[in-house]
Each structure stands twice: as structure tokens, then as C-alpha cells.
Amino acid sequence: MSSDYDEVCRLGRELSNWGRWGDDDEIGTLNLVDAAAIRRGAACVRDGVGFSLALPLGEGGPHTNSIPGRFNPHHYMTAIGLSVPASPFFHFSDDVVVLPLNAATQWDSLAHVHYEGRLYNGRVADEVLSVGGAARNGIDKQARHPFATRGVLVDVARSRGVDRLAAGTAVEPDEVDAVLAATGTAVESGDVLLVRTGHMRTFLVDADREAFNGPAPGLGLAMAPWLRAHDVAAVAADNVMVEVTPSEDGSTICPLHLVTIRDMGLLLGEMFDLEALASACAEAGRWEFQFVAPPLPFTGGISSPLNPLALL
Amino acid sequence: MSSDYDEVCRLGRELSNWGRWGDDDEIGTLNLVDAAAIRRGAACVRDGVGFSLALPLGEGGPHTNSIPGRFNPHHYMTAIGLSVPASPFFHFSDDVVVLPLNAATQWDSLAHVHYEGRLYNGRVADEVLSVGGAARNGIDKQARHPFATRGVLVDVARSRGVDRLAAGTAVEPDEVDAVLAATGTAVESGDVLLVRTGHMRTFLVDADREAFNGPAPGLGLAMAPWLRAHDVAAVAADNVMVEVTPSEDGSTICPLHLVTIRDMGLLLGEMFDLEALASACAEAGRWEFQFVAPPLPFTGGISSPLNPLALL
Amino acid sequence: MSSDYDEVCRLGRELSNWGRWGDDDEIGTLNLVDAAAIRRGAACVRDGVGFSLALPLGEGGPHTNSIPGRFNPHHYMTAIGLSVPASPFFHFSDDVVVLPLNAATQWDSLAHVHYEGRLYNGRVADEVLSVGGAARNGIDKQARHPFATRGVLVDVARSRGVDRLAAGTAVEPDEVDAVLAATGTAVESGDVLLVRTGHMRTFLVDADREAFNGPAPGLGLAMAPWLRAHDVAAVAADNVMVEVTPSEDGSTICPLHLVTIRDMGLLLGEMFDLEALASACAEAGRWEFQFVAPPLPFTGGISSPLNPLALL
Amino acid sequence: MSSDYDEVCRLGRELSNWGRWGDDDEIGTLNLVDAAAIRRGAACVRDGVGFSLALPLGEGGPHTNSIPGRFNPHHYMTAIGLSVPASPFFHFSDDVVVLPLNAATQWDSLAHVHYEGRLYNGRVADEVLSVGGAARNGIDKQARHPFATRGVLVDVARSRGVDRLAAGTAVEPDEVDAVLAATGTAVESGDVLLVRTGHMRTFLVDADREAFNGPAPGLGLAMAPWLRAHDVAAVAADNVMVEVTPSEDGSTICPLHLVTIRDMGLLLGEMFDLEALASACAEAGRWEFQFVAPPLPFTGGISSPLNPLALL
């Protein structure tokens, strides 16, 4: 499939969710996380085991620190065992971080990307302010919705019998369908799709931040219609951008971001650590689970770090 | 009950969980969130409705900014609709925050307070470092455990038929037992207790940050044995300190913090917004729900903001 | 004199220095600090005594912390007596600040204010970028010029025989001329004018930050033609805004800022502590001195804190 | 000369200035900047030309960002052309930085390094606090002194006829004396010595931050007695550490830091850009000038960036 910007525009119009949940909507496909989805998610909890899908937030994080605005969090102590003069028995510690909201495991909000001057649901891009950030579509809006539903893991690397996909490999709908069929899993409206490429091993096993942040396997642009047809609430992956980089046509930048976030109002989850979860799914022989992953309500925030849980 | 520091020491020894989960344990009562608790929590999801219990993280947050190290997060844009020269179609925004880890809704880690030179499980207080923070017992350790269990709301304000309890009012075991009995709810090992005093209305309704951060209703020290006897995994409240302030004897500082965090290894959840949840519980006539509240894995972190969810 | 915005525009046109030092100029009246001015300043050093005119940069600074973006600097330690494993003899400490560039004693750059879409020298206001800051006219440009010249103190409070001028008092050209005449001092091209209102005592003596940041005495708008006629290189005062607040007509905001910074390309120095210097001048009976006050080269910076020195 | 730690201790005792300016002294050799030195400095201003010796403070700065706590400043906008509802004519911009106090051109304070538990003048090292920083000997103390004196440039690279000295080259007293003799310059008590190795070209010309922050030419430990004998007020250089790295014996870390800062109370100036000044000195045939270089009064600060001026 071509993925130049004409194709982005065409797909954007075709898959658009603008107006679907009202002209004032600021949460997009999170609307699909309804009572049925919340119950369906909870019903997946059988073994009572759970997994944190978050990378560490600290100097040991996944960023290379070479791009301004994208660095591993700085952590400073504001109290270390402090006491108060009147009460020397009591001691406390406190701390503060300087935290890029795109540090490590995160959701991109519906204000993260745009084209032709418009954000999701037709908001003008100028509503992302130099002071205050996203006046519309910010992560604080999405954080108010109870983001708990069923998650479905598509372990592409395991399905291919490889440690990880090569950089630049696009994951396409046929393969996703085949993996789902092989694992006997069906995706329903309001589910979240988690795609494992194995690219996370470049950071976690190889400790190679440069390579982890460089070209990577990920979703091809053809996944956009698939995600829309299945009405997933969000998609997350174990790489930096969710989508394949460089893009399939080699010239466009993040075409899947543009169509999913801006036109579909779909949240993208980046740098999710799926390693332990994938092993557990393979052992249990089921790839569905309760998935609880609310972002934090940063006012006007463009993204939010979080600690997503998968419960089997 | 007296709450001078001799009493703190005596209670600490009596209620100690040191060694209970091994000498290397760094997560304390989170160990009680086992497979049974995870399943019990999920089984509470019947209506498929959910509530975020988090306050906003931004300039509109609950801090007064008058105490160094305790201020509402600063939010800065690092990209606003930026494009790249080769690809002017694509635009993105990014941001960063300066974030006290005790800003707004949070868990205190097991490294937050200490006395007599020891943290939870006998770690020396010097393991809270000036650089790197909590080498032991930090919030990153607790963040790895899948913190999803059953939550039980004890709505003391509603039980008393008041808007909110007066500042300085101590919530004691007898009242908690009475509220639980009246609502037909039993607390089991691994549950989380959520206590509503109504004090949150001082911030949310009155918008009075000074009063919100001043004297407040909260748990009395006598709740420590109760929490230990019921083996709850954590306790959270809708005030700044969980415990009543000033303390009941008027002289000790945060005695409940010391016994619960340092001796019992129990997490305290502060500034939880229980207003909407409490209304829903009253309407539904049940006060138990799935409670999913993992902190974020800030390396060496003393606390962590989060977005806790209650699912009914 | 009227000071509504029509008057601002009229004065702006009349006093404009746009193009005076070339179309690419980004330092404005600092151009007047030439070899003669540098020598004239140095020649003022007779007694060999000097004064720092800077307020402290720390939690004890002059801000109230109630306005986002204007707070006293946060200071964090990044190393405290750290050693390295191979060499336990050596210990070092390091630190970091979160620093509003308008914290405490500062120069406003020529990118700080604008009207009608234009900065000093006709630069479009859009050259102040959301990322990178002032692409033109930033403080980094002004920091390259050797800002050392003659300073002249006009001690209005002392001249009036008062501790400080009342809030809202405008200092006008006649009074400045009278003070200069009484002290036998003449202002030449390239000099810096330092105006003492005594308002700094509201912070330093009364410790009343609210009042210090509220209505204040300062320069009236009629000083703009005076400053242009005398071709001073900069003007600094012991208040927050240099100019009188509220403005004389009660409706315009910072009219003197607009005309001086945007039209004249004149740097304004805010929150200069002139107390010790003023006492020394009175005792010595001379009100001129070497004044050395380079801002720091913050790339794209809108302002810069500094430690200005006056040497007699 | 040997430079193991026994030698550091021996030199420290021999060259100590502890008690020389009273037991409460916190500014060390800045005491040598007296009225005579201030006048002597001003008297050097003949041509009326000046040079800023500061590197840029921004993402383009000299740090590699690979060491936590040592990174190039982050610059964020807190207002961009903002207006106020009542007055849409007026627009302003503001900004903030996250600034390591050792970023770029800086003075190390007398609290920066220690050994055997003692800072300069016998202060216990514990007076460097986890919150608040240097309670004693901090840069705020040194910032109060009027730091304007005579500066003397020793251009070692030019004297040797090279672009720059090789990494690891120690500059020793004999060579300094020879350069001074060749340029007809004598160093007096209270002067500041500026040593040019040419290493700055590794950053400014080669743009090689890794190499700039690696092994470098600089002062040998034998310069400590020389600096003490000449009673200079401070020494600055165009490298990262002032002293040669690695140290001459290959095993000790920053031995010159320890003796000068901790025992002598001597300020070290790091990353001074001497390129333009050196050219001007060579052209003018004189290597002395007024040197004005006050640090900024960061409360409890361990270091301070600044914009040093040299005026000929």
C-alpha cells in the first residue's frame, strides 16, 4: 500500500471518526470502552496473575538524550530523612522529577499530531498553546475515562519463531489475522490490541538505546483500516513509534500516527514492555486479559507516562 | 489512645511486618495482593462503570506552592506543531513537566518516612541517597507488583450525614467497623481500604488550598492495629495525609505514617478523589469494587502520582 | 502626559531606533556602549570599592510563586560529597536549578515585549518560537557585547527625603534633571541610568513579597523621550517593572516597556538592589561609577539573571 | 612532582589559607581582591575594548548529556507573545531553564570538593545539605564580593606555537614564568590568572564534545604552590577542569581541585572561552586587562555560570 501524504489524506477521510461521538468529543475511540468492554475485560481474569508493562522512569530509561525534549527523567531529592526541630524523632524524604511526558511507556494524546491545521474532531491546531498545552484533546481529557477493558496480545515475533522482527519490517493485517486465528482469539469493539515485535529486546537485552530509537519494526499503514474495522479502543506496541520506521514508502513521517490519532481519534501506546506478558500468554495458551491503562491527568498534556497492567 | 513516640515505638514493634516476606522484601503489604485478591477484585466488576480517583496534575492542583519541594507541576511545551524541513505535512507537539512526586493523588513508597535510622524491613535510612533516591524500598519496587485487588469504600462523612468531617476529627476503628457493618461489607486480606472524610470538598468545592493543606480529619493512630489485623494491602483517603492532623496527642508528627509505612510496610494513598465513586456506591448500594492503582516505576522514587481506577 | 496606546504608538514612532545600527542589529542601545563609554566607566573607579546589585537566587527570592512561570528558583543537589569507587579520598558536590529567567535581578532582552506583531528593529513577533525561544533579539545576542560603562545613580527617594516613594508615584524628567543637577552629575551617551525609588525596601526590609510585586513607584512614560534624548545604554531600577505601576492613565499595561524595548531597543533592568550603593554614593558625594552588568548568554533567552557590579 | 593523595595532604597543609581571613571566612582568596586590586584592574582599561568569555547556555553547550547532573540547559517558554484580555495591544514572552550550575563557563564555589570530611576553612562537609545545598562556603557567599580585578592571560598554546596542547599535557610553573617573562607581565596579589591551553578549540572548532570532556591539557599540581606564592585571587582556564586530566600520577582524581578549593580557598574557573581575548592580547602586545567576573548569588549553590568580561 502506498503511504504518501495523499494516501494519508484519503485514508484519513475514509476512516474518520470526527463527529461520531459528538462535536465536543475529546476522547475518541476510548468511547468504545463501554460497560460491556469493562465487564469483558474483568471476566478475563482467571489465574489472578498480573504484569506491569512499564519501563523504568529514570536515568536508565530508553532515551538517548540526544534529542532536546526527549530525555530520560531527572530525579532530584527535595528532602532526605529531614526532621523538624520540634520533633526530631520523625524523618521524611521527598523528591521531584523533570519528566518529558513522552519518557518511556506512554500514551500519545489526541493532541500529539496534526496535519492541515486540524486536530482530531476538527479542532484547530492552534488550540495547542505555547502556555498550557493542549486546550482540547489533551491527555487530561482521556485520563478521566475509566480505561479498563480487554486486551489482546498479537505476538508476531513468537508467531514467526524469531527473537525479534528486523528493523523496517511492517506488520500487516493478514499476519495479524493469522496470529489471531492461530491463537483462537477474536478482537471485539473496545478491545485494545497489543502488538509484540520483539524490538524491546534491543533496549532490554542489548541495552542499545541508539538502535532502539532508530529504524524499527512496527505496524504498516494498512493496519489503519483494520483497526477502524475492528473498532479497537487503542493499540500499543513494544517499540518507540508503534508504526514501522522508516515508513513503508520511505518518505512520509509517521503516516499511521496521522491517520489514527488525528482522524480516528485512536490512542497509540509506545514502548510497552510485553516480554513477561508474552511468555505468560504462551504458557497459559491464551492471549486475552484484562488491560487497565489509564494515563495520568496532566492538564493540557500531550502524552502521559503510565504503568499499564495486564491481568490474566 | 495515646500517640506519643513511645506509643509509636510500641505499636511499631507489635505490628511489625519486618521479615514476614523475607529479609529482602521491598513491597510490604503489597505481598497480600495475591492471586486470590486479584481474582476477588475482578469479580467485583458487575455494572461495568468506572471512576478515576485522580486529581489534576497541573497548575490547578492542590498544593499551595508555599513549601519548597511541594508545588503544583510546571508544564512546558518542547514542541508545538513542529514540522521537519523535509516533510512539512507532518506536525507534532511534545511536552515536559517539573513534577514533585508527591503532587496530587499519590502513593507514598516504603522509603518515605523512618525513625531510629531504619526504614521498612530494617533497611538503614542511609539507603535513601542524595543522588538516586531510595536504593531500597523505593516506589519502583512497588510498581512492579500488579496492584489490582478489591477496594472497599468506608464513607464516614455519608455515614454521619455530613458534608465533611471537621478538621482534627479522628476516624477510629469502632466507626469503621460500624460503617462496614451497616453497608454489609467485610474487609479481607489483600483488600484496599478507601476512607472518605469529605475533606476533599475543601479543595474541590471551596477551592481553598490553604485549608485543604491545613488541619484535616483522618485516621486515628488506633487504626494501625485494625489495618494490621485485617491485613489490608493499602489504605487511601481523600485528604493530604491519610491520618488526622494535627495528631491526636497534639505533639507527634504523622505517627500513623511511621507505624504503617516503616513498621508494617503498608502503602498510604493520599489525595484520592472519592466524590464520584462515593455517590455511585451509595446509589448502587454496594461499597466494594475492583481497585487498580499501580504507582509508576520512578527509579528510586519516594512517591508516585497515579491515576487509580475503581470499577464496579 | 497621556499614556494610552495611541500615545505609545506615537512615541514609538518618534523615538524609534529601528535601522539606526543596521537592519540586522539585535542589541539596540547597547551599541552606545562604545570604547569611549567603556573607558569612561573604568575611569570612575577611584576608591576601589564595589557593590553587587543582585538579589539572591533561591527560595528566599522576591517572587510570590502565585503566577505560573514566575517563581523563585528551585535548587536541587545532583551530587553531595560523592566519591568514586576507585578513589574514595576525593569528594565532590554538584547542583541544578529550575530557574525562571525573570527571577530576581535581571535584564529584559529586546524580545521580551511587542505590539502590532513586531519586535525591536522590525523583526516579526513570530521569531519568538515555542521551541528555542527568541530566534532574534534574544538575550544571547546582547550578552556578547561587553556591557561595561559608566553608571549614574539617581536616588529619588533620598532626594525627596523619604524612605521610599509611594506605590503609583511616577518619576518624571523634571525630577530626574533636578536630582542630577543637585548631585552635579551629567548623563552622557552610553551611560546607564540607575533609578532608586526605595521600593526594594518593601522586599528587603518589610519582607512583603505581595506588596513588592504589586503597585509600585517607577518611571513615568515621559521618561522615554528623556532616555532617548540622553542616549542612555540602559535603565535599571529597584522595583519589579522599572516603570510606575499601575500606569499613569490607569488602563495601559507597561507602556514604557513597549516604547523602550520594542521601539528604542533599550534594555530594562529590574529588581536591582541599590541600597548599599546608594549609601556609599551619598557618603562619597558622587553618584557615578563603573557599571559592569553583562547578561548571561542563554540561547534564545527572553531575559537573564545577572550579578551587576558598581565600582567606585 | 608526585601527586598521590599523601602529596595532596602534604600540599594542603603547606598551602592552607584556613584561618587567614578569620574563622568565619567563606570567600577565601577573593579577600585578595581589595581596593588596590579593584583600582589596578580598572587602570588596565586603555583601548575600551572588551570580550565576553562565556560559552552559550543552551542545547548547543559543551556537555555531552551522558552524565546525570551534567547536561546542557533545557530552555522552555512560559509565555509567547501573551496578551491579557483587557489589553490585547500589549504582548510579552517569558521563559525558564533547567540549569546545572556547572553548565558551561562557571566558577566552582568553595563547597565544591572536599576530603577528610572538611571543606575550606575547616567547615564540616556535612554542611553541604541534601536540601538547601552549601550552608557554608556556597557561591552565594562569594557572589557578594565585588569580583573585579586585574586579569593576566598566560597563552601557553601561543607561546609554544601550537593550535592547542595535547591532552594530558601538564602546564608547570617554569613554563608559566617563562610566558610571563616573555610578555613582560608580572602577577600581583589579587590578580586572576587565565591560562589558555587551546583545548577550547576541541569544542568550538571541532565541535567534538566527547573529546572536549575527555582527557585534556591543564595545570599540573605543581602550580598549587605557585598560585599560593603569587596570591592570585582565582585561576581560570579554557578546559573543563582547569587541571590536567588524567592527573599526572594517573591515579588521583582532581588533586589540584582538592588543594586549591579546599585548602587554599581558591576559586577555579572552568570552560572560559579565551580565544578572542587571546587574539586581541597578541595584537595589542599586552596580556593584562580588567577582569570582571562575579558569580551569581544562587543560595547554597555549589557553582555558578556567569558571563566574565575582560576589558583592555
Distance, in angstroms, between C5 CA and closest chain D CA?
8
Nearest-neighbour CA in chain C from B212: distance (Å): 17
> Given this model, what pLDDT does residue A2 score?
44
List CB contacts (< 8 A) between A130 and chain C: 130
Chain C touching partners, 3 or more CB pairs below 8 A: A, B, D
Q: Which residues on B lie below 8 Å from A142 (Cβ)? A: none
DSSP D186: -
From residue D50, alpha-carbon distances to B113, B121, B259, C145 in Å are: 54, 62, 64, 8
At B2, is the pLDDT very low, low, confident or very high (cuts 50, 70, 90)? very low
3-class DSSP state of D303: strand
Question: Does B88 lie at the interface with A, CB-CB under 8 angstroms?
Answer: no
**What residue has cell string 489471531?**
A180
Q: Which of A185-194, C125-134, C257-266 has the lowest mean pLDDT?
A: C125-134
Q: What are phi and psi of C11, to 5 degrees?
A: -60, -40
Query: What pLDDT is stored for residue D2 in this prediction?
Result: 44
Q: D240 and D203 in contact (C-beta within 8 Å)?
A: no
Q: Which residue among A66, A98, A130 sits closest to D80, beta carbon to beta carbon? A: A130
Cα C219 to the center of its chain, rounded Å: 12
- Indicate which of B67, B70, B76 best probes the interface with D, i.e. most D CBs within 10 Å of its own CB: B76
pLDDT in tens, D138-153: 999 999 999 999 999 9
Nearest to C130 among A76, A96, A130 (CB): A130
State whether residue A2 sits within 8 Å of chain D by CB. Answer: no
Query: How confident is the model at residue D160, as a pLDDT?
Result: 98
Give the pLDDT score at C131. 82
- A74 close to C (CB below 8 A): yes
The CA-based angle B171-B174-B177, given to 5 degrees, is: 100
Q: C-D interface: how many C-beta pairs under 8 angstroms?
A: 306
Query: What is d(CA D90, CA D100) in angstroms, rounded to the nearest whole number?
Result: 33
The reported pLDDT for the residue numbered D1 is: 41
pLDDT band at D40 (very low <50, low <70, confident <90, very high): very high
Q: Which one of B57, B59, B64, B74 makes the best mutation probe of the C interface by having the most chain C beta carbons within 10 Å?
A: B74
With CA atoms as reference, report the closest residue to B109 among B302, B294, B245.
B302
State the average pLDDT for chain D: 95
Q: Evaluate if residue C251 carries a pLDDT over 90.
A: no
**Any A CB within 8 A of B52 CB:** yes
Q: Using the structure block, give the residue that is written with the C-alpha cell 566574565.
A: D308
Q: Do D131 and A78 lie within an 8 Å CB cutoff?
A: yes
For D243-298, how does the pLDDT look when each residue is reduced to its tens digit (9 = 90+)?
999 999 888 999 999 999 999 999 999 999 999 999 999 999 999 999 999 999 99
Q: How far is D131 from chain A (nearest CA, A)?
A: 6
Collect all residues of chain B within an 8 Å Cβ-Cβ radius of residue D126.
none
Residue whose C-alpha is closest to residue B176's, from B235, B216, B233, B240 = B235
Distances (CA, A) of B212 to A31, B53, B155, C67: 34, 17, 19, 20
Give the residue among B282, B260, B270, B233 at the shortest CA–CA distance from B108: B270
Taking CA atoms, what residue in D is nearest to B78? D76
| Closest partner CB to B77 (pick from C74, C78, C130) | C130
Decide if C311 and D148 are in contact by the 8 Å CB cutoff: yes
Alpha helices (H) along A144-185: 156-160, 173-182
Q: Which tens digit of pLDDT belongs to each residue from B233-266?
A: 999 999 999 999 999 988 899 999 999 999 999 9
Q: Which of D69, D74, D77 sits opposite B77 (nearest CB)?
A: D77
Mean pLDDT for the stretch of residues C274-291? 98
Q: Is A79 on the interface with C (CB under 8 A)?
A: no
| Mean pLDDT across B71-79 | 93
Strand order in the sheet with B309-311: B50-52, B309-311, B288-292, B148-155, B192-196, B234-237, B267-270, B106-108, B303-305
Q: Which chains touch A (3 or more CB pairs under 8 A)?
A: B, C, D
CA distance D208 to C114: 38
Q: Is the whole-model pTM more than 0.90?
A: yes
**Residues A67-115: pLDDT tens digits?**
778 899 999 999 999 888 778 899 999 999 999 999 999 999 999 999 9
C14 close to C227: Cβ distance less than 8 angstroms: no
Closest CA to B69 of A104, C189, C59: C59
Q: Residue D155's beta-bridge partner residues?
A: D196
For residue D130, pLDDT beyond 90? no
Residue C224 phi, psi (nearest 5): -60, -55
Tell me which chain B residues have a C-beta less than 8 angstroms from the C-beta of D68.
131
pLDDT tens digits, B98-109: 999 999 999 999
Q: How far is C60 from chain B (nearest CA, A)?
A: 10
Residues of B in contact with D299 (CB under 8 A): none
Neighbours of A165 (CB within 10 A): 21
Q: What amino acid occupies position C268? A: L
With contacts defined as CB-CB under 8 Å, which chain B residues touch D96? 74, 76
Best of D96, D109, D144 to disrupt the C interface by mutation (most C CBs within 10 Å)?
D96
pLDDT over threshold 70, residue B3: no
- The helix (H) or strand (E) run that includes residue D227 is helix D223-230
Higher local confidence (pLDDT), D81 or C187? C187
State the alpha helices, DSSP H only, in C57-172.
139-143, 156-160
Report the distance separating Cα B212 and Cα B220, nearest Å. Answer: 18
Please judge whether B39 and A48 are an interchain contact, meaning their C-beta atoms are less than 8 angstroms apart: yes
Is the minimum CB–CB distance between C93 and chain D shorter than 8 Å? yes
Q: Which of B59, B68, B131 sits opposite C68 (nearest CB)?
A: B59
Nearest-CA distance from A80 to chain D in Å? 6
Which one-letter DSSP state was computed for residue D98? E
| Each residue's pLDDT tens digit, B126-182 | 888 888 899 999 999 999 999 999 999 999 999 999 999 999 999 999 999 999 999
Nearest Cα to Cα of residue B192 among B266, B142, B280, B282: B266
CB nearest to B130's CB, from C69, C71, C80? C80
Average pLDDT of the residues in B184-206? 97
Q: Which residues of B touch C78 (CB under 8 A)?
A: 131
Of all residues in chain C, the percent with pLDDT exceeding 90 is 90
Answer whether B93 sits within 8 Å of A111, measured CB to CB: yes
**pLDDT confidence of residue D33:** 98
Q: Tell me the three state secondary structure of residue D116.
A: coil
Q: Are D131 and A82 in contact (CB under 8 A)?
A: yes
Task: Tell me if D57 sits within 8 A of C298, measured CB to CB.
Answer: yes
Q: Does A135 touch chain B (CB under 8 A)?
A: no
Smallest Cα–Cα separation from D220: which of D174, D181, D189? D174
pLDDT mean over C219-228:
98
Asked if this assembly's ipTM is beyond 0.95, the reply is: yes
Q: Report the half-sphere exposure of D212 (CA within 13 A, side-chain side).
A: 24
Handedness of CA C125, C127, C128, C129 (dihedral sign): positive
- Cβ C113–D99 below 8 Å, yes or no? no
Q: Which residues of A touch D74 (CB under 8 A)?
A: 68-69, 98
Chain D positions touching B95 (Cβ under 8 A) are none
Helix (H) or strand (E) holding A280: helix A275-284
Q: How many angstroms separate the CA atoms of D215 and B120, rounded?
A: 44
Q: Which of B2-6, B133-137, C96-100 has the lowest mean pLDDT?
A: B2-6
pLDDT higher than 50, residue C177: yes
pLDDT of residue B97 exceeding 80, the answer is yes
Q: Report the gap between the CA of A178 and the closest CA in chain B (Å).
A: 30
Residue B1, pLDDT above cutoff 70: no
Q: Are D257 and D302 contacting, i.e. CB atoms less than 8 angstroms apart? A: no
Taking the Cβ of residue B69 and every Cβ of chain D, the question of whether any pair is shorter than 8 Å is answered with yes
Residues 6+ apart with CB under 8 A from B309: A146, A147, A148, A292, A294, B50, B51, B52, B53, B290, B291, B292, B293
**Low-confidence residues of chain A, pLDDT below 50?**
1-3
The Cα B233–Cα B188 span in angstroms is: 10
Distance of CA A122 to the CA centre of its chain: 22
**Parallel, antiparallel or unpaired: strands B50-52 and B309-311:** antiparallel
